[in-house]
Chains A and B, each alone.
Chain A
């Protein structure tokens, strides 16, 4: 074990994966010699050469298309989109091309080696275009996997698994935690299985579910609730597509209550999918309506960031209201 922040953990995962797989290439805007605007790719060009870690022209659709081409020819591209807010120019390449490559060709071709890494989420005074959480746009697309880590240990293990998964994966990194989240990270090469939720804390009264940077928010809310005698079961979903219905349903069957939290706007957010599925799977076990604590249905605001965010107080109130229903 070594103490490190999330960026360091991601950088280590990339380095380990590149060493183990000579077909792996890392590229995007400013990822080369400079090492990325967040320094996630720091040192990789020096270690593996310009051919395998390089800057691209400033074009997200180009980066995604280029990545599709590389992956279709047996390479392991790990492409960086500088901010998740700027993934939309690549939406066509990801949704119409990456996601459908295997299916449409009858498995004659695939881009399974492909991983997109992109910093997402608010809390950094990033305004409209350095704060978004666009995961739900992608969870609606069959063929993609969507993964979000909550801390350095998770980031390293999930990223190594994402890079090696035989399907295209979008790996959303909570940029608010890049340096803020510091923790023990296992040495060397390890993977955390995709598609499996993590029960972070056992409880009996209510299930509280989130992912990424919101995990520390719900943990704080649950601490507050526990002081009032409410036993919270906390789940980190980790993989949003395909998501671990069984683990969440088993938890809700035990607790009878569910609060879901995400930064993205409420309407059309992934909490809606979870709520609908759990309502169907656990109808006879539910003691109260499923509660969603999410961003407002507005663009991500600058000065009212604190008010916009589904923070610990809002979550705490939702937990109490759900218990009191």
Chain B
């Protein structure tokens, strides 16, 4: 038994701690008008990185707007936007090395875009066509790419958290000079896997950054029905973890915190928790209508804290962007996304044979038999199976 980490002082009358005992400030670098706070310590950033960050934000906004529209028209089955949380995602991914491994929840597609996921790849996934890396097996927005070190998204919440600890432990054992970054929402942090994953990373000393998007809601559930403590950050301290809370709508604060978290995780083989305070400006998903559980006034208030606008003002102040360039970028991406939709939705679905591939490394005899029987059935009733009947 080792209680060295406890280091308790003793008292001799009852005295309880409460959540206010833990003082957790919010790191803020960028003001609403695009100027930085006096004495603020800026992250490492140059014009190229700044432009890449902004370009990713513009793409993400345009993609979200267009694809939500495409879902409304019935062209894709499902969609989720990142709106309002772009600074949290892009500011953090910009602090990483391309070989750092990302495990995300589902509202972080701006990160895979920053890594180089093409507009065409986004569309192939959403339209489940034969060029989709995921072979059309998962719902839209469940992206993944080995080449971009971005784990394929899965729907069960928080399962990626202990997995991230395992990936980071593997990086440490292999001697890679890389970290793992794990994104999740504040709702997912109520899952048991959050507890399991953070505790394991701390005890087993794994270089992983846990990045929580605290956006105020898990579908319809506000945070005061999600937890009673001092947010998510207070828990990191309980696990013995370096922890910071940042303004998630402040690109420079997120970038600064993540850069230093990465350096710390690498140097000490230890995890770091970042809680980014933000707001989910859009609906939870295309299947959700937030007017049933929150007010327009509340949304309007948060529109004033738009993270993309705040960063844009900083870029303009720096002389690194003009309104004209911004308008052009939006226009260019609108055209590009629309054109990509038109191409992707015309491509056929993956071949029927893919239905039994990748269950195991190779199909079992039972799977081969089931496919054979399925093909015979489809040949008998081709009109009932229009997506695959023509190509068996």
B49 CB-CB contact with A under 8 Å: no
Is the beta-carbon distance between A109 and B144 smaller than 8 angstroms?
A: yes
Contact B361 A167 (CB under 8 A): yes
Interface string of B224-239 (1 = CB under 8 A from A): 0000000000000000
Measured between alpha carbons, how far is A71 from B358 in the docked complex, in Å? 16
Q: Which of B138-155 contact A (CB under 8 A)?
A: 138, 142, 144-146, 151-152, 154
Considering only residues 33-62 of chain A, those with a C-beta below 8 Å from chain B are: 51-52, 54, 56-57, 59, 61-62
Q: What is the total number of residues of chain B having a CB less than 8 Å from a CB of chain A?
A: 48
Q: Which of B154, B171, B200, B366 contacts A66 (CB 8 A)?
A: B200
Taking CB atoms, residues of chain A closer than 8 Å to B101 are 73
The total number of A-B Cβ pairs within 8 Å is 152
Task: Give B278 Cβ to nearest chain A Cβ, in Å.
Answer: 26
Q: Which residues B309-365 have CB closer than 8 A to chain A? A: 357-361, 364-365
The distance in angstroms between the C-alpha atoms of A97 and B156, with both chains bound, is 9
Smallest Cβ-Cβ distance to A111: which chain B residue: B163
B180-200 CB mask vs A (1 if < 8 Å, else 0) is: 100000000000110111011
Indicate if B161 sits at the interface (CB-CB under 8 A). Answer: yes
* Contact in complex: B159, A65 (CB < 8 Å): yes
Q: Which chain A residues border B366 with CB–CB below 8 Å?
A: 242, 245
Interface 9-residue window, one of B87-95, B128-136, B381-389 = B128-136
- A92 in contact with B156 (CB, 8 Å): yes
A106 touches B199 (CB 8 A): no
Point out the residue from B156, B204, B358, B359 that lies within 8 Å of A96, measured CB to CB: B156
CB-based contact B133/A106 at 8 Å: yes
Interface residue? B166 (CB, 8 A)? yes
The answer to whether residues A104 and B173 also contact, given A62-B197, A242-B365 and a CB cut-off of 8 A, is no
Interface flags, A231-251, vs B, CB<8A=1, else 0: 000000000001001100000
CB distance from A86 to the nearest CB of B (A): 14
Complex A-B: 14 CB contacts under 8 Å: A56-B200, A68-B162, A69-B162, A69-B166, A73-B166, A92-B193, A97-B156, A104-B134, A106-B134, A106-B135, A106-B137, A106-B152, A106-B358, A107-B358
Other A-B pairs, 9, CB within 8 Å; known A57-B200, A96-B154: A62-B196, A69-B162, A69-B166, A74-B174, A89-B192, A104-B142, A106-B132, A112-B361, A246-B365
